[in-house]
Amino acid sequence: MKNVKIQHGIYKNLPSGTIYNSQAGFLIFAVGVAFKLTAAPGVINETYGSSTLWAFMIMSAVEIAITACIFAFARMRGDDLLRCSASKTYRLICAAASVWLIVKGTFYFCYCVSYLARELFGGVEPSLLYLLFLFPAIYLGIKGARTVARTTEILVPIIFVLIAFNLIFFDTNNDIGRNLPIFSMDPVDFFKNLPRFGLWIGDALPFAFLRVKNKRLPYVTGSIVLTLATVLITVMLGVAAYGDSMKMVSDLLIHIAGFNQLSMEIGRMEWTNLFAAVSVSILSLSFIYFGAIAACDRAVETRVPAVVLYPAAVAAIIAIVPSSQSVAKFAVQAIGYALTAMAIAIPLLMLTTALVVKKKMPNLYRHLDDEFVPRELPYPEPPASLADNILKPFKRQAQQEYATLDNGSLQTEENQ
């Protein structure tokens, strides 16, 4: 395929598994908004009340640390290094990552269906909603990160404008003081409960399996800052408007659009953020799905288990579990602690393993980009022996005793 150079060293067609940092930035925004602003605020408010914003801040700090680990790993080409070194540890980590992403994706899928069932399709058979989400998420996930990234590149600017538009025109009776006190419960309980919400952290893990090519501007850092600002401002306004009653809000992103002051003039505005919520949810689900497939590929050298398992898990839920809401509830119980532990441990282990292997095999790391060429030996192999039965170390001594034939072999007694 002809690779057309556009400008500043940016190519139209990137190598497989490579995305631009601008695309990574858009993906971070989509995933951040989908995971942090849809169902999470209402669920977290149920436990934390006025401390919701502060819980979000602590979770955001953890998320920044995790994302920093993941991008450090991606920037140092940790994935390539560990694959080249055939590290068994990395395979194990990838296996765990694949399982974790499938579980996370399945739980999140249930949240998406749960809020859509309430917000958009009242009275519609939930299995239809499963299909509505499943088709595009699977299609994009299988196509790979570049397809997801390109789709995100088109949709996220529109989504950002919609969210900003609704925040700018936000107008309702609110009290910012409702975000106080910081600890609505005992600090011990505050920190003890926080890991239960592990479903909503570690969303950037699939970046570990990608190469990020830089454009001029620091898109990734900018996007992380912008995403966190959007999330925290929205949550702050949500608590200011609803107070402790935010627990009834199944999707804050959609509800906040209802307070757009233009809705007095042009009717209900929830549809604007509903479009945003559905789009970012599908993009995030497909990105998580891609991550599960990529991790599986590295663990067992085939994508098939993850490709099959994720839709199978969703299908199993349709068949077995009576409602998606019960799965959503289950995700914030004891299993939430396991999800948090995995979300923190996997990127840390990946980065540590990559650093250890880099230190152990500096030459391998240095030559990661080199083409494989068989090494030229300093001493060419002698021609095939004509069965003179003399080992190489004794050859010089034997050459003094026996005459050498034209083909290089010695004329020993046996040869005679």
Residues of this chain that interact with other proteins (CB under 8 A) are: 16-17, 50, 118, 121-125, 128, 131-132, 135-136, 139, 142-144, 171-174, 177-178, 180-186, 241-245, 248, 250, 255, 258-259, 263-264, 268, 294, 297, 301-304, 307
Could you tell me the CA-to-CA distances from 279 to 31, 155, 271 in Å, in that order? 10, 8, 12
- The rounded distance, in Å, linking the Cα atoms of 87 and 41 is 40
Q: How far is the CB of 319 from other proteins (least distance, A)?
A: 19
Phi, psi of 368 (to 5 degrees): -60, -35
- The rounded distance, in Å, linking the Cα atoms of 82 and 17 is 15
**Minimum CB distance to other proteins smaller for 293 or for 343:** 293
**Minimum CB distance to other proteins smaller for 64 or for 95:** 95
Q: How far is the CB of 351 from other proteins (least distance, A)?
A: 22
126-143 vs 145-168: helix crossing angle, rounded to 10 = 120
Q: How far is the CB of 35 from other proteins (least distance, A)?
A: 22
Task: Supply 318's token pair.
Answer: 């349709």
**Minimum CB distance to other proteins smaller for 178 or for 196:** 178
Q: How far is the CB of 122 from other proteins (least distance, A)?
A: 6
- Assign residue 215 a region: left if phi > 0, alpha if psi is -120 to 50, beta otherwise? beta
Q: How far is the CB of 70 from other proteins (least distance, A)?
A: 19
**Minimum CB distance to other proteins smaller for 100 or for 259:** 259
**Minimum CB distance to other proteins smaller for 123 or for 383:** 123
Q: How far is the CB of 184 from other proteins (least distance, A)?
A: 6
**Minimum CB distance to other proteins smaller for 232 or for 300:** 300
**Minimum CB distance to other proteins smaller for 222 or for 258:** 258
Q: How far is the CB of 12 from other proteins (least distance, A)?
A: 17
Q: Which residues contact 64 (CB under 8 A, 6 or more apart)?
A: 224, 228
DSSP secondary structure, 207-222, as one string:
GGGSEEE--SS-HHHH
Q: Long-range contacts for 275-279 (Cβ within 8 Å, ≥24 apart)?
A: 275/159, 275/162, 276/33, 276/159, 276/162, 276/163, 277/34, 277/38, 277/115, 277/251, 277/253, 278/116, 278/120, 279/30, 279/155, 279/159
